[in-house]
Amino acid sequence: MSLFWRIFLLNAAVLFAATALLLLGPVTISAPVLLTEALIMSLGLVAMLVANAALLRIGLTPLQRLTRAMTTTDLLRPGRRPVVSGHGEIAELIMTFNTMLDRLEAERAASSGLALSAQEAERRRIAQELHDEIGQTLTAVLLELKRVADRAPAPLRAELHHVQETTRGSLDEIRRIARRLRPGVLEELGLISALKALTNEITTHSRLTVRHRFDGALPPLGEDVELVLYRVAQEGLTNVVRHADARQVELTLRRTPAGVELLLRDDGRGIGTATEGAGIRGMRERALLIGADVSVERAPGPGGGTDVRLRVPICATDADHTGHSDHAHHDGHGGHGGHTGHGAGAAAPGGPYGTAAPEKSGGTARDTNGNSSGNGDNRP
């Protein structure tokens, strides 16, 4: 039965009931109308309106639930669907809305995948050009400056050395940018080494102390999963450096019964009621590509801070075993860098940790054997 006829019949039933009470009830209406008669009629009208409102409320409740679902739907948080309830047109409307959400989420995932793949390809191209073109040019300039400085008169050598240092600093910055755009260590040495290099980068160029705890019993991770984990950690650390006003951050990667979890916890001022920015939405988009979920919430404890948690299900980690990851357990933290600077961007978790105590190493995170995981550059 259509919604129109259900509402019509509900109102008709209420009117028929009121008419029957007037015809068959003991109350009579005289002319002129007495006060008691008017009072009884008013009470009957109120009762009729209340009954009508209650019946309409019951009939329209599924529509109200659908309206709430529409206002809270977010394609970056998929899987939420209003329960199909009601009859006829209302149930059909809810099913149509759910079908539309399924289609939109599939299209959003496909388009996001294409966009992010194109973004990664462009990052690789730019990083390669920075390394091959600008990096090589600056290296040649440094060599030429060194040759000139060796032959220059003593009064000019100090100025030439200053130019050398400026050029060397620019070359180092270009290398850092290239590493952020294309983490070569991720492709060559695996996720754990890439995350350690990322924490070294952060501690070297900011006042942030980064502690990392990595589970040694991670399941095989595909290349796509490793890239998403790395980018989420990179973006999360960048947000901490830029916005959190934090002194310490803990980066944890662990295996869970459901898959793999990455946790980034800082002691900053927290997110409060601020709306999600492009960085967090970018994390969610990347997570959707591998069927994962990103949550951002206040860190437990009185100190405040923020937890960024990426949960990767087992089905995502088992989907592609072509990737590579380190299988040794690591537990360490970076020290303070010498000056404030810029961060790199994204992800994080917590879990069963090893027994080795973290050791401090001014600006460089180390593994339990004391070997530095930093990415050094050979300077000309």
Domain count, the chain: 2
Handedness of CA 40, 44, 45, 46 (dihedral sign): positive
Residue 65 placed within a domain: yes
Q: Is the pLDDT of residue 301 over 50?
A: yes
Question: How deeply is 378 buried, as exposed, middle or buried, from its count of CB atoms within 10 A (0-12, 13-18, 19+)?
Answer: exposed
pLDDT-derived band of residue 28, with 50, 70 and 90 as boundaries?
Answer: low
pLDDT-derived band of residue 150, with 50, 70 and 90 as boundaries?
Answer: confident
User: Are 54 and 189 found together in one domain?
Assistant: no
Mean pLDDT rounded to a whole number for the chain: 75
Q: Is the pLDDT of residue 141 over 80?
A: yes
Pair of tokens at residue 202: 């952060």
Cβ pair 344, 259 in contact under 8 A: no
Helix 35-72 to helix 89-129 angle (10° resolution) is: 30
Final residue of a domain: which of 21, 54, 71?
A: 71
What's the pLDDT at 75?
Answer: 67
Beta-bridged to residue 252, according to DSSP, are 213, 263
What's the pLDDT at 251?
Answer: 92
Query: How far apart are alpha carbons 162 and 166 in whole angstroms?
Result: 6
Q: Is the pLDDT of residue 157 over 70?
A: yes
Query: How far apart are alpha carbons 265 and 260 in whole angstroms?
Result: 16
Residue 207 placed within a domain: yes
Q: Is the pLDDT of residue 357 over 50?
A: no
What's the pLDDT at 327?
Answer: 40
Q: Is the pLDDT of residue 20 over 50?
A: yes
Phi (first) and psi of residue 308, to 5 degrees:
-110, 115
Q: Mean pLDDT throughout 19-29?
A: 67
Q: Is the pLDDT of residue 263 over 90?
A: yes
Q: Which residue has the higher pLDDT, 253 or 322?
A: 253
Residue 90 placed within a domain: no
Q: Mean pLDDT throughout 154-161?
A: 85
Q: Mean pLDDT throughout 191-205?
A: 88
Q: Which residue has the higher pLDDT, 319 or 77?
A: 77
pTM: 0.58
pLDDT-derived band of residue 279, with 50, 70 and 90 as boundaries?
Answer: confident
Final residue of a domain: which of 17, 40, 71?
A: 71
pLDDT-derived band of residue 247, with 50, 70 and 90 as boundaries?
Answer: confident
Q: Which of 44-53, 232-241, 301-310 has the weakest average pLDDT?
A: 44-53
User: Are 205 and 328 found together in one domain?
Assistant: yes
Task: Tell me how many degrees the CA angle 158-161-164 measures, rounded to the nearest 5.
Answer: 155
Query: How far apart are alpha carbons 35 and 345 in whole angstroms?
Result: 78
What's the pLDDT at 49?
Answer: 78
3-state SS class at 17: helix
Please report, for the domain that includes residue 206, its CATH number: 3.30.565.10
In which domain, by residue range, is 300 found?
183-333
Rg (CA), the chain: 32
